[in-house]
Amino acid sequence: MKTIILSTAIRLLTPLFQVFSIYILLRGHNHPGGGFIGGLIGAIAFVFDTLANGHESTEKTFFTLKVYQQPRKSGISYLQHYLQFIRMNIQRKKEAGQLDVQQQYCIQLRPVYLMALGLFIATISGTISLLLQQPFMTSQWPEFHIPVLGSPGTPLLFDLGVYLLVMGIILKIVFTLAKE
Amino acid sequence: MIFIVLAGFITSFLAPLLYRLLGRYVYVPMVLLPLAIFVCLCSFLPEVLAGQYVQQEYVWVSSLNINLQFYLDGLALFFALLISGFGTLVMLYAKGYLDDHPLLGRFYLYLTLFMTAMLGLVMSDNIFSLFVFWELTSISSYLLIGFKHKNETSRTSAWQALLVTGGGGLALMGGLILLGIGNNSYTLSDILVNNGFISHNLYLPALILILLGCFTKSAQFPFHFWLPNAMEAPTPVSAYLHSATMVKAGIYLLARLSPLLGGSEVWQYTLLLVGGVTAVMGALLALQKTDVKAILAYTTISALGLLVTMIGLNSELALEGMLVFLLAHALYKGTLFMVAGAVDHSTGTREVQELYGLGRQMKPVAIAATLAGLSMAGLLPFLGFIGKELLYEAALEDPAKELLAFAVTFIAGSVFACIATLVGYRLFWSKSTNSSPVKHAPGAMLYLPPLLLGTAGLAFGLWPELLATPILHRAAQSITGNTELLLELTLWHGFTLVLGLSLLTLLVGLLLYRFLPRLHQFAPALEAIYTYGPNNLYHKGIAGFLNSSRKFIGWLQNGYLRSYVATIVLTFSGLVLYTTFRNKPELALAEYASLLKNTELYEIIIMILMVAGLIFLMNTRSRLTSIVVMGLVGYSAALFYILFGAPDVAATQLLIETLTVVIFVLLLHKLPAFTYLSHVGHKYKYIFVSVIFGATMTYVLLFTQQHAVGSPLKDYYGQASYLEAHGRNIVNVILVDFRGLDTLGEITVLAIAALGIVGLLRLNPEKGGKR
């Protein structure tokens, strides 16, 4: 199913889908939406990308971060070295050609990590109330407001956990299926 | 007392670590622990001997009455001293027996764990903690029997012991809870003061369950078969668990509960009958065996039966006799087991027909064996003699049960005398040329513990007033609850009837010994009986159970998704239809008929689309087409949700449909070409199942709408979700806030299911993966 039109369109649309899915996640508390639906939308966007471009491409584009590193030269302070390190990674395209292959590191975000992170966040959102000596999963609402979000309470954190988990599960299954 | 138990648990789990640190010297701390516990327990002696008791309580779940309560009176202290004192010797002996075994640390872990559990068991005052310790002894016994885990018989025996004693443990828990309900208290010392329980409704069920637990633990007929098989364990374990302590747990509990449960006829006759049968059967079986450990195991069963019989007699004299015999038995039987282990260790065989006259090569062991043998046979200056005298006195006391009790005691006593001669005399002192050679003389750690124990049997017999009377006196008092009861042990009673009976027993025993070789020749002829014995029945039962469950699983979990779905759907519909058929609720269909008039055109169009799609689906032969049509049906359903005002559900439905289609498409090219392999009739079968399910669901929906339950929940959620949970979308607020814990559970299940699916996908049987 590799057509240029589809793959180009999908490549452009996927970030848009992601923004939309986060929007759905955030509005869930007051309007139709929520973590489950948002996670499904986000996952479907990546699944379409997998259909159009293959799963290697999806994983490489959206779930892998390349980090370039240089050994610290003598005569350069640690601060300077790390500043250089950060700059190098932000302006990566210009300097990538000059670097050795050995000095590249890949940070890959696997769907299983998404699942684990989601479950972790959802559980943590419940334990916050334990610290305040209230029963498990008593929702906490901070006083301040953030312009778009409203008051970010622990239910939102819980929803975020559901979102990540659902996305991780679907991606894991689809990637495994596509691999064979 | 909590410190004793805690120290035991902590040290036991440190044992493997200590082994790594200290190597073979790990035995030093492991021997010191029971010794320290013994000394610590001795510090309670003055208080308990003065007729008082010690009580300690640590509240845990007080609303359920599950607390850690300890109670130390005469009986508990007697048992605790026996366990810790014996434990010290066994720990030392285990080092001599296992020597450089690579898993010595683990062995000490299990053994110490067992000792602690057993101490906890006898000191527990709360029935739940009693049960926990009880099961812990079963589990540690399982681990110890299976210590030689590379041996298949070891594993089978361990499993058998766990199943039998664990099953009995469950029955015991039921019985104890009934006891607690009936007496309105879960503290043993409170329960025991209550006298009227015998006439309570719950008495009989509680009694039966508790007896089941005690009989399985104490290897009473017909549950005795696990004990001889448990001899697969290393000999220190057999000496400690399966002769001196663990098997006496049932006896302990029976004795402890006898003031509460005893006195009824059911109690008396059950105990008399079961104990009597066990004692006689164990004695007769012991005569037929030629393996020293098996002989000792069967005499242990016989002795346990005798103890149960004595509890069943329910007189004060019988209880006293029971206690003295219990102590004497623990002393001599432990010694003999250790002797058997030492002989096994140095000659490599346990067959009595190959062992003669070993006395010269292993003198200390031989002396220990002789001392124990004399006590077992019931000769004059030994504790065994006093025990037997008391047993006879108790047996002859009650004319109604005289014959049965006397016969049991007499048969068991004669066989004990015979076995004692065999083990204490023939093994070591008889002269014969065809004996197995002694490969190496046993070390000090192998002969010191039995020698000490054997000497203890003599010392207790020589000075009973001094050593045994005080504690046994208080123990007897705490069993009967009678504080004026006097227990005085003396060695010499004068020339009485009982003394004559004792002598007769000895004579019969010697006669039996004379004809023992002939009995051994007869033994194989009796094998046919054992095919229907409890042991074989057990194995057949287990095999049958495994077989039938395998068949059942094969039938239920056949690997066809369609039959899983059909089973679930049919079960559900069947249950719903059964309930409606039984209750015959009214459903006014006429009301709904009038609603049909309001149907809009677009609803009819979607409806027609769906029905047409479904009919097409049933006749199509292309997978892609069926998937697309299924998607069409799903999207139409989502449209319905939108039309009837459920945007959340509709959104979820749309997304799930999309994903289903995508996943199907991903899988599509891997499937073989679409062909009908099965009969056409199958198709109609599944159509029929679907129609039934659809009809049931429609009926349930119509019905629930007509009989809506007025509930304040809807209003409550409507208000609280905005005021308290700060959200206007009730569905979502319920999901993430009100029922957040449910959602947390669901997403956990989802994650686990996803991992399972990935695991299944990765198996890939075609490429040589595991199926």
Q: What is the ipTM of this complex?
A: 0.86
Residue that is written with structure tokens 């192998």 in the block: B446
Distance CA B513, CA B510 (A): 5
Q: Which residues of B touch A35 (CB under 8 A)?
A: 736
B50 by Cβ neighbours in 10 Å (0-12 / 13-18 / 19+) ranks as exposed
Q: How far is CA B475 from CA B49, B187, B323, in A?
A: 9, 19, 8
pLDDT at position B740, please?
Answer: 87
Task: Measure in Å the smallest separation between the Cα of B674 and chain A Cα atoms.
Answer: 20
Q: How far is CA B94 from CA B99, B105, B236, B345, in A?
A: 8, 11, 6, 12
Q: How far is CA B342 from CA B94, B439, B488, B623, B721, in A?
A: 11, 12, 36, 75, 76
Count Cβ atoms below 10 Å from residue B713 Cβ, excluding itself.
9
Contact call for B737 and A172, based on CB within 8 A: no
B719 by Cβ neighbours in 10 Å (0-12 / 13-18 / 19+) ranks as exposed
Half-sphere exposure of B131 (CA within 13 A, CB side): 23
pLDDT at position B580, please?
Answer: 83
Chain B residue closest to A168 (CA)? B751
B357 by Cβ neighbours in 10 Å (0-12 / 13-18 / 19+) ranks as middle
Contact call for B747 and A176, based on CB within 8 A: no
- The H or E element containing residue A121 is helix A111-131
Token reading at A26: 């955030």
pLDDT at position B771, please?
Answer: 44
- Start-to-end Cα distance in chain B: 54
Chain A residue closest to B659 (CA)? A44
DSSP label at B672? P
Q: Which residues of chain B have pLDDT under 50?
A: 769-771
pLDDT at position A38, please?
Answer: 92
Contact call for A32 and B648, based on CB within 8 A: yes
Contact call for A40 and B761, based on CB within 8 A: no
Helix-, strand-, coil-residue percentages of chain A, each rounded to 5: 65, 5, 25
Give phi and psi for A126, each to the nearest 5: -80, -30
pLDDT at position B319, please?
Answer: 85
CB of A43 within 8 Å of a chain B CB? The answer is yes
Across A68-72, A132-136, B593-597, least confident range: A68-72
Q: Which residues of A touch B736 (CB under 8 A)?
A: 28-29, 34-35, 155, 158-159, 162
Which 728-747 residues of chain B touch chain A by CB within 8 A?
Answer: 728-729, 731-733, 735-737, 740-741, 743-744, 747
| Angle, CA of B656, B658 and B662, to the nearest 5° | 115
Cβ contact B333:B90 at 8 Å: no
Token reading at B64: 């359920």
Distance CA B726, CA A29 (A): 8
pLDDT at position A97, please?
Answer: 56
Q: Which residues of A touch B735 (CB under 8 A)?
A: 34, 36
Task: Measure in Å the smallest separation between the Cα of A120 and chain B Cα atoms.
Answer: 10
Chain B residue closest to A31 (CA)? B729
Cβ contact B215:B171 at 8 Å: no
Q: How far is CA B495 from CA B248, B377, B668, in A?
A: 33, 19, 98
Half-sphere exposure of B671 (CA within 13 A, CB side): 12
Query: Using N-to-C axis directions, what is the helix angle for B497-514 and B383-397, rounded to 10°?
Result: 110
Distance CA A45, CA A18 (A): 7
Cβ contact B245:B334 at 8 Å: no
Cβ contact B660:B638 at 8 Å: no
pLDDT at position A168, please?
Answer: 93
Contact call for B735 and A34, based on CB within 8 A: yes
CB of A6 within 8 Å of a chain B CB? The answer is no
- The residues pairing with B291 across neighbouring beta strands, listed in sequence order, are B351
Residue B84, amino acid = S
Count Cβ atoms below 10 Å from residue B454 Cβ, excluding itself.
30
pLDDT at position B120, please?
Answer: 92
Cβ contact B393:B436 at 8 Å: no
CB of A139 within 8 Å of a chain B CB? The answer is yes
CB of A166 within 8 Å of a chain B CB? The answer is yes
SS3 for B551?
Answer: helix
Contact call for B666 and A174, based on CB within 8 A: yes
Contact call for A28 and B726, based on CB within 8 A: no
A101 by Cβ neighbours in 10 Å (0-12 / 13-18 / 19+) ranks as exposed
Q: How far is CA B651 from CA A23, B55, B454, in A?
A: 14, 65, 83
Cβ contact B226:B157 at 8 Å: yes
Contact call for B743 and A30, based on CB within 8 A: no
Distance CA B297, CA A37 (A): 68
Ordered DSSP codes for B13-82? HHHHHHHHHHGGGGHHHHHHHHHHHHHHHHTTHHHHHTT--EEEEEEEEGGGTEEEEEEE-HHHHHHHHH
pLDDT at position B436, please?
Answer: 67
Find how far residue B332's CA is from the centre of its chain.
28
Q: Which residues of B touch A115 (CB under 8 A)?
A: 751, 754
List CB contacts of A155: < 8 A, sequence separation 6 or more: A29, A125, A139, B725, B727, B733, B736, B737, B740
- Partner residue facing B663 (CB), from A30, A41, A174: A174
The verdict on whether omega for the bond into residue B222 sits within 30 degrees of 0, i.e. cis, is yes
CB of B658 within 8 Å of a chain A CB? The answer is yes
Count Cβ atoms below 10 Å from residue B625 Cβ, excluding itself.
13
Contact call for A126 and B652, based on CB within 8 A: no
Cα torsion through B400, B402, B408, B413, rounded to 10: 160
Chain B residue closest to A124 (CA)? B744
Count Cβ atoms below 10 Å from residue B407 Cβ, excluding itself.
14
- The residues pairing with B351 across neighbouring beta strands, listed in sequence order, are B291
Chain B residue closest to A115 (CA)? B751
Task: Measure in Å the smallest separation between the Cα of B633 and chain A Cα atoms.
Answer: 20
Give phi and psi for B486, each to the nearest 5: -115, 135
Q: Where does the pLDDT of residue A17 fall: very low under 50, low under 70, confident under 90, or very high at 90 and above?
A: very high
CB of A25 within 8 Å of a chain B CB? The answer is no
CB of B756 within 8 Å of a chain A CB? The answer is no
Task: Measure in Å the smallest separation between the Cα of B719 and chain A Cα atoms.
Answer: 14
pLDDT at position B691, please?
Answer: 92
Distance CA B550, CA B556 (A): 10
Task: Measure in Å the smallest separation between the Cα of A150 and chain B Cα atoms.
Answer: 10
Task: Measure in Å the smallest separation between the Cα of A76 and chain B Cα atoms.
Answer: 47
Residue that is written with structure tokens 């393996």 in the block: B291
Which letter, b or e, does each residue of B509-533 get, where b requires 16 or more Cβ atoms within 10 Å of its Cβ? beebbeebeeeeeeeeeeeeeeeee
pLDDT at position B768, please?
Answer: 55
